[in-house]
Amino acid sequence: MKAMILAAGRGTRLKLYTDRMPKPLVPVRGRPVIEYTLEQIAALGMHEVVINVWHLAEMLIDHIGDGARWGLNVTWSREETLMETGGGVRFALPLLGDQPVLIINGDILWRLELTPLLTSFDPARMDALLALITPPAPGLGDFTLGADGRLTRDRGAAAALTYAGIQILQPQVLADYPPEPFSLNRLYDASIAAGRLFGMHLAGAWADIGTPERLAQAEMTWPHTGHNA
């Protein structure tokens, strides 16, 4: 299975950093946030990684290169215009192939046990299988998880879980979408209507750096690890 890291966005809520660097290079505990994800992907025994880029793309490409430092083979999907999450995956289809792909947001920190997610994806029944976590605060849930694993939209509901920014996706479900910028939420809504969006509640450490406040919290609480030589 290949992995794809979504790393193209501008990160406007972190302008203090992202005016001068791509968001995945924003440091947490002295290391670019994307390095933590690269290490986790390698630890899963995966080797092939696609990363999409747009904002300050060359900085990210120069930093990561071919991924050999992490035992990975990194291929770059260079977007001429920002394609958003769904459009970015669709644009990268020639690099992803026709097998399920592990897709990870480029601005999160995670230590979740993904093996159950990786082994449970069933393309005959599922368009996507989302990793869900307990909301970091009340009212921050996105989806309700049914007894059969199917998801419904229930943002803010008491039982709603938070999407962790990690999923298994059958990329070819995007092949018929127009080649234009769009959010993966467009696919999620269509898949919910068809009964093909599933989720799995996972335990473990997780954080995102989407705002200055969340970045500061991650800086204080995320465990420090040494640099990957």
pLDDT in tens, 133-184: 999 877 789 999 999 999 999 887 888 999 999 999 999 999 999 999 999 9
Note the pTM of the prediction, 2 decimals. 0.95
Mean pLDDT value of segment 43-60 = 97
Residues near 136 by beta carbon (within 8 Å), at least 6 away in sequence: 162, 206
> Coil, helix or strand for 12?
helix
Q: Which residues pair with 78 in a beta bridge?
A: 53
Residue 229 has pLDDT above 50, yes or no: no
Residue 43 pLDDT exceeds 60: yes
Is pLDDT at 36 greater than 90 in this prediction? yes
Question: Mean pLDDT, to the nearest integer, of 79-92?
Answer: 98
What H or E segment, with its residue span, contains residue 39? helix 33-43
Q: Give the number of residues written for the chain.
A: 229
Instruction: List the one residue out of 141, 108, 126 whose CA is nearest residue 199.
Output: 126
Checking if the pLDDT of 227 tops 80, the result is: no
pLDDT at residue 138 in the model? 78
On whether the CB atoms of residues 60 and 6 are closer than 8 A, the answer is no
Partners of residue 129 on adjacent β-strands = 168, 198
More confident residue, 167 or 228: 167
Of all residues in the chain, the percent with pLDDT exceeding 70 is 97
Instruction: Catalogue all structural domains in the chain, each as residue range(s) with its CATH number.
Output: 2-221 (3.90.550.10)
If pLDDT is split at 50, 70 and 90, which confidence band does 225 have? low
DSSP label at 31? E
Instruction: Please write down the long-range contacts of 11-17, taking CB distance under 8 Å and 24 or more positions apart.
Output: 11/55, 11/107, 11/210, 13/210, 13/211, 13/212, 14/209, 14/210, 14/211, 14/212, 14/215, 16/212, 17/215
